[in-house]
Structure 1
Amino acid sequence: MAFLLLVCFSLIISMSSGADNITANQSLSGDQTIISKGEHFELGFFKAGNSSNYYIGLWYKKVSEQTIAWVANRATPVKDRFKSELKIINGNLVLLDESNSSIWSTDVNYTNSNLNSVIAILLEDGNLVLRNGSNSTENIWQSFDFPAHTWLPGGRIAYNNKTGRKQLLTSWKSNEDPAEGLFSLELDPVERQYLIKWNKTTQYWTSGSWDEQNKIFKLVPEMRLNYIYNFSYVTTDNESYFTYSLYNPEIISRFVMDVSGQIKQLSWLDASQQWNLFWSQPRQQCEVYDFCGAFGLCRESTLPFCNCLTGFIPKSQSDWNLNDFSGGCVRKTNLVCGRTSEKFGFLPISSSKPQNFTSIPVGSLAECERSCLNDCSCNAYSYVNNNCSIWNGNLLDLSEDNSNEITVNVKVASRDLPSEKKNKGVIIGAVVGAVVGLVLIMGLVLLLIRRNKRRLVGKTSVEGTLISFVYRDLQAATKNFSDKLGGGGFGSVFKGTLSDSSIVAVKKLESVSQGEKQFRTEVSTIGTIQHVNLVRLRGFCSEGKNKVLVYDYMPNGSLDAHLFSVDKLLDWKTRYQIAVGTARGLVYLHEKCRDCIIHCDIKPENILLDGDLCPKVADFGLAKLIGRDFSRALTTMRGTRGYLAPEWLSGVAITMKADVYSYGMMIFEFISGKRNSEQSQDGKKQFFPMQAANVLLGGDDILSLLDPRLHREATVEEVTKLCKVACWCIQDDEDRRPAMSQVEQILDGVLDVNMPPMPQSLKLFVFSFTHPFFFFSTE
């Protein structure tokens, strides 16, 4: 008896002290766990949030915040982990509950195998496998084939070509029981793309291009981030699958089908002890199908994202308090159909067009409204371009953040609609008070208006946050545009002084063919963009052919005047901070504006410096004002030579990755302190990016690339990091270039960056310096 107790005790000690396997004579119960050899993952019982249920799962051992990566009994929890056990029975890993009933099993059908030698091993990559003995390397079963909500490096998202079986990632809210979630990710083997589905039926995102009808978007380019992740697609006769790995195995990373309906790539940061979002798709929360539930309206610009329509309340207020909006909203007052149709009214809202509508033939707006009013099952209607659409079911996927908004009229009980009668008394009182007040202060208001007109030269009106200037007053402020600060592909910039003594930069635009209304619309959009690393637009002037923009004045001028000047010298710390600040400005333009803004002309001349040498990107949004033809001007402007991405020359559509390329070319100049194509001291032309790439890839002295005026006063780590980033940014294939948000994270030290490959186009650029007419004019 003592011997048996000793054996049992030794088994318990071995199980809880870091064993990486379960053998046929062992079981796991209570607080016992097994740990992978390198202590990256741990397997055991866990409890989700405040639930009383327990599950068998594995989590990251080296992460302070318990993060579940895989769950076995997702649909069948246990109540008592001490009376439940995980053990090997007949060659299968089986979970027995309190009543000794099997509630989960690996279900392997053996033909020829020694069942007593089967062993369960937790591997370093987070894969729980069954093998025929500890010396075997062949997996009989593996958890990678049955993912939960997390796709680990080395795992697969696969499709069995013979059986049609799919491997799914299914969303799970980590603080609740991991039952089947609303969203899933799977593989489409025909199109070689991912599909994100809602409730596993409605497909709304894929790795193809955006499709408004089916709610789909391409994900594959996001996964070609070969400087950190190596994604690949494999197909055989038996199966097709996507898999990925990390170039740096020390990075703790996970790919998750999140409860938000977005797929997310996250990395663990030891410094901050938290998960950092690397990228996600869809990018915007309101692009997730039915995120706000029935009759919920999504607004990207407000928190929380979801609000119920007027006349509706959350179906479950407690869920909404926890930011779970999936239950949607219900009417405050139920509609009673029949003879009392006068008790119904319609609430007009601006939204993207919900799906699942029915088109009916009517001749007018009134007929369309009447059809819905008289149909007991109709919840809303819209009438656009003489087409009547009605919705008989719940309204899903309502969002204000869409360029294709229409007016949807939602049926609501009259008592819950805004009513003129309800507000009549308040309105009468307000009118009386307003009249009395107006009589008393009208004179004062008029005096103040006249006074302000005298003080503000050219400020004839205010449109939103922008001031509309008069052209002749801007002529006076700039001394007839005589004090020129600089110029570029969009026009010339002049220094001006307004009557309130504030100094401004006045830009006269060239080749603007837009009409008055369209110009004002585009400028108003630019005027709403505010960021510490973007130059603020103060106002504009549009009088006939005279199109002028008025900006804040930057006392330290443009970056080129400091970077390439013999009289001024930027130390390394300042250069690095300018690189970081410029990246942040571009991140805002590319990812955080309502509509992505591609700058199209990133170069030192368009990076301005304020009094503290804080960088501010200038001329953003002007590409849309000028139009696609402005590229002809860019290729002949001095200072732009060498910054344009190869796709400009091929005539294909320009994306934000063109800005990434230009940023990379500019970063090389931050390091060298001279133009990329500047002549060396012996009078020979050399191409610095090629030189930098050779030194970087050859492992040579990286500080030899540094501006000689800095006398090697820079850190090897930062110079190496900038060189790597620059080489990744100028890759020939734009899909291999990082997004600016990833560049920002790398420069901030949040992400590591791998050694880049040699961009093949560098050889072509070397050729262009001996044949300058080949690519660009040398004007």
Structure 2
Amino acid sequence: MSLMTMATLMALACLCLAPAVGAPATVSARRPLRDNDTLVSAQGKFELGLFTPAGSSDGRFYLGIWYKNIPGQTVVWVGNRASPLSGVASAELRVSAEDGNLELVGPTAASASPVPVWSSNLSSSSSTPGSNNTAEIRDNGNLVLLDGGNTSKVLWQSFDHPTDTLIPGAWLGENKLTGEYQVLTSWRSAQDPAPGMFTDTVDPNGTSEFFYMWNQSRTYWRSGVWTGRFFATMPEATRNILFNQTYVETPTYRRVSNALYNNATITRLVLELTGQTKQYTWVPASQNWQLFWAAPTVQCDVYALCGAFGVCDLSSQPSCRCPPGFAPASEGDWTLSDWSGGCRRSVPLWCPHNGSTTDGFLTLPNVKLPNDSDLLAVGAAQSKAECESACQNSCSCEAYTFSAGRCAVWHGELRNLQQLYADSGVSRSSDLYLRLSAIGLRDLHSSGRKGGRSSWLVRGMTLLGVVALCASVILAWRILVARRRRRLVHMANEKDKGSSLTVYSYGELQAATNNFSERLGGGGFGSVYRGVLKQQKGGNTTQVQVAVKKLESLGRQGDKQFRTEVSTLGLIQHVNLVRLLGFCSSSNEKMLVYEYMPRGSLDRYLFRAGACPSWRDRYCIMIGVARGLAYLHHGCRECIIHCDIKPENILLDEDMSPRIADFGMAKLVGRDFSRALTTMRGTIGYLAPEWISGQPISAKADVYSFGMVLFELISGRRNSERCSEVDDVAGTGRCGSSAFFPVWAAGKVLEGEVGTVADPRLRNDVVPEELERACRVACWCIQDEEAHRMTMAQVVHALEGTIHVHTPPVPRALQNLVKLT
């Protein structure tokens, strides 16, 4: 709260106002909100006033609600989205004395005199004209207009009219009496809150399903129907650990709303201008909004994100780009992440109706084909040349494909183009031949020769120019290939010089390890040795300790492990992932060189006789490993599934910071699809049920393994060991008869007896809140069905305490497993 003088406090007291930051507590006909004044909720959580979008400099002002105490203005509601004010000098938010409406008046670009730009639009029967209605902002972020004759009666509220953000307590759905829909609508751009292209709305046909729509005409994502506990395509765990989501249908309305388990949690659901709905939570420790989940998960699943002729490419930043020969229709809009205007040809087509066009075609390889609305199948075309001719002979034809003997041509603007990559899992992909003018093709060819950067092969030239251009195209292509090879060699040399992996000879590593004399440990594919390497820095020679993993009895599987580990760790770096420094790959020997971890692996530190890490160390290890896995799953270009999370593959540095190691079994999954079918890999005792049943696996397989590791960190014992009466240390009742420990522990968590799960060697020296949190997270991670498990991003938030985790059920699969063993 701002510091106030005594005179100010006395003045506010005389006005009978609740204390608020520089603002009246209510708005009324006699007490409007003027100029730069703001209205603050009773506990200072939310603020109402006029704002200018961040980064905007054109003098547009909007009525909005934002979080009061969060750095950087995060707006959750906007009133006059499509009708901005041009200034605040004479702006006023007031209650109309004539009809009792809450209204905003002020100057606009069309009128220097104050005019109404927004109103609550109460019906004539809702309020008595001339009444003393008042408006206030509440601590849940809801702006309400109250009846002057009965202040318990809400005449209008912002929760009934969401914009792009849904906060807890607000709702989406349909008012059956008025026919009005409560809809989320994206901003037009980062600096323009006007309604954009994407909406989130309940099914107009009356079902409980919610649709994400482009231009209010095409559905690109669906929530699935309400099952009674959650929406069919949305993970149940997402609902359970953050808020309680409910869908209710009555004769008056059908709607969905969220109620927080913990009121201290700050979270918001936003329909981004990119068409994805994203759930964010505020993390006070880092003073940042953290992404909790997104739908659809893949950005390019948003329909027509990049507009006409734009290509969505997950490998580029931003995700939208224009094909060669095209440029953004509005450069200014693209800089603000508004790609809806799409792309236009740099050189217009030339297509006289006498059929003498010299337009040609540019090949866009391996793209997801555009929608079928303007698709025409040409059955008479028996070859690619005939298909091309069919398109070229029609001035309205924009592109064609010829695949498996089928010719298809597109007329009108092409939307929803997506760049695909190998093993994308998308069946409807092909080379697309995009029509360009002869001048445009020639310009592309020239720029390719000058810059050496063109990665697009220009094909399909018209018969009129093919003879003249054929030789030059072949020559240009050879030049491009040669330059590309030289560039790749140069890049490889640069990597070897410094910032990336170093290539070592066998002799260098043999000398560094003193002929492999100090063995640190081993696994299924070889042994790890301690070594010392010399490094040159700034003219000085320093020594650095390393761990050298020598792969033995390779065979095809071991060789594959070597290549997987080099290609995976060579591209990523994270504080909780072991760093790969280099490798040796001679004809008979393959070795990997890692940074040295002085405390060794977690299993030695946790399970060896006499060892008992403190609860603080254990909890830091839990969070560190979770962060490392979250990075692998969500922070890399491709989702990396480790496939073998266990204490042996978690290393500890001098400060007890954990590093995930051993990526030889890792699986890379493209962002175009969410799971992979692969042979079973990993370690018994940490394998998720889907591994054993032979189903395709996803990142949730790592989540399961992490849950098992959590139990081991909590209890200080191997999960593979059975409990017996001898485990009952000092009569604690810990683990009776012959139960499988995770099952027993999950039962104790369900009963609320988490203290009995902790390692008795800690002698109750634990943080109870952290212990309960870790136990509940572990139980959610080992649920039978993937959809019921948390994501690693959610695990991080839960362990950090930024979201609430409620009591999970005991996994049925583990109970059945115990019965069979």
TM-score computed with the length of structure 1 as normaliser: 0.75
Shift of 1:242: 1.3
> In terms of mean alpha carbon deviation, does 527-536 or 75-84 score higher?
527-536
Partner of 2:101: 92
> Partners of 1:12 and 1:375 in 2: how far apart?
75
Shift of 1:654: 4.6
CA contact (8 A) 1:57 1:72 kept: yes
Q: Pick from 368, 379, 388: which aligns with 1:352?
A: 368
Partner of 2:709: 666
Task: Give the unaligned 5+ runs of structure 1.
Answer: 1-5, 210-216, 439-444, 446-463, 471-476
Matched, 1:152 2:179: no
Shift of 1:183: 1.6
- Which residue identity is paired with 2:208? R
Shift of 1:495: 5.8
Partner of 1:375: 394
Matched, 1:334 2:358: no
- Which residue identity is paired with 2:240? N
- Which residue identity is paired with 1:722? A
Partner of 2:433: 409
Partner of 1:392: 411
- Which residue identity is paired with 2:444? L
Partner of 2:810: 760
Partner of 1:184: 199
Change (3 A) 1:374 1:765: closer
> Partners of 1:232 and 1:540 in 2: how far apart?
57
Q: Pick from 310, 316, 337: which aligns with 1:302?
A: 316
> Partners of 1:287 and 1:78 in 2: how far apart?
36
> Partners of 1:315 and 1:767 in 2: how far apart?
60
Change (3 A) 1:311 1:175: closer
> Partners of 1:254 and 1:590 in 2: how far apart?
23
> Partners of 1:201 and 1:129 in 2: how far apart?
32
> Partners of 1:570 and 1:7 in 2: how far apart?
59
Matched, 1:741 2:755: no
CA contact (8 A) 1:226 1:736 kept: no
Partner of 2:58: 51
For residue 137 of structure 1, give the secondary structure of its aligned residue in structure 2: strand
Change (3 A) 1:323 1:146: closer
> In terms of mean alpha carbon deviation, does 227-236 or 414-423 score higher?
414-423
Matched, 1:79 2:86: yes
Shift of 1:673: 1.5
For residue 368 of structure 1, give the secondary structure of its aligned residue in structure 2: helix
> Partners of 1:505 and 1:376 in 2: how far apart?
64
CA contact (8 A) 1:496 1:506 kept: no
Partner of 2:5: none
Q: Pick from 316, 329, 337: which aligns with 2:330?
A: 316
- Which residue identity is paired with 1:417? L
Matched, 1:37 2:37: no
CA deviation map 1:626-651 (0-9, x unaligned): x97955x97xx7xx23x444566778
For residue 38 of structure 1, give the secondary structure of its aligned residue in structure 2: coil
- Which residue identity is paired with 1:66? Q
Shift of 1:739: 0.7
TM-score computed with the length of structure 2 as normaliser: 0.72
> In terms of mean alpha carbon deviation, does 363-372 or 291-300 score higher?
291-300
Change (3 A) 1:767 1:230: same
> In terms of mean alpha carbon deviation, does 237-246 or 613-622 score higher?
613-622
> Partners of 1:530 and 1:586 in 2: how far apart?
12
Matched, 1:366 2:382: no
CA contact (8 A) 2:565 2:663 kept: no
Shift of 1:652: 6.7
> Partners of 1:425 and 1:694 in 2: how far apart?
71
For residue 434 of structure 2, give the secondary structure of its aligned residue in structure 1: strand
CA deviation map 1:320-366 (0-9, x unaligned): 34444333322222221135533534244432222243332221111
> Partners of 1:466 and 1:370 in 2: how far apart?
53
Change (3 A) 1:316 1:630: closer
> Partners of 2:767 and 2:11 in 1: how far apart?
58
- Which residue identity is paired with 1:65? G
For residue 566 of structure 1, give the secondary structure of its aligned residue in structure 2: coil
Partner of 1:212: none
Partner of 1:243: 257
- Which residue identity is paired with 2:85? V
> Partners of 1:754 and 1:207 in 2: how far apart?
23
Shift of 1:229: 1.9
For residue 194 of structure 2, give the secondary structure of its aligned residue in structure 1: coil
> Partners of 2:649 and 2:562 in 1: how far apart?
23
> In terms of mean alpha carbon deviation, does 525-534 or 327-336 score higher?
525-534
CA contact (8 A) 2:66 2:73 kept: yes
> Partners of 2:87 and 2:317 in 1: how far apart?
40
Q: Percent identity?
A: 36
Partner of 2:221: 205
> Partners of 1:223 and 1:679 in 2: how far apart?
29
Matched, 1:128 2:143: yes
Q: Pick from 585, 608, 625: which aligns with 1:582?
A: 625
Count of matched residue pairs: 700
Change (3 A) 1:345 1:624: closer
Partner of 1:214: none
Shift of 1:185: 1.4
> Partners of 1:551 and 1:278 in 2: how far apart?
35
> In terms of mean alpha carbon deviation, does 107-116 or 63-72 score higher?
107-116
Change (3 A) 1:519 1:87: same
Shift of 1:687: 5.0
- Which residue identity is paired with 1:416? D
Q: Pick from 156, 168, 183: which aligns with 1:168?
A: 183
Change (3 A) 1:340 1:630: closer
> Partners of 1:252 and 1:59 in 2: how far apart?
12
- Which residue identity is paired with 2:378? I
CA deviation map 1:222-264 (0-9, x unaligned): 7733122222211223322111121121222221111122212
For residue 86 of structure 2, give the secondary structure of its aligned residue in structure 1: coil
> Partners of 1:689 and 1:148 in 2: how far apart?
45
For residue 277 of structure 1, give the secondary structure of its aligned residue in structure 2: strand
- Which residue identity is paired with 1:414? L
Shift of 1:266: 1.9
CA contact (8 A) 2:397 2:409 kept: yes
For residue 182 of structure 1, give the secondary structure of its aligned residue in structure 2: strand
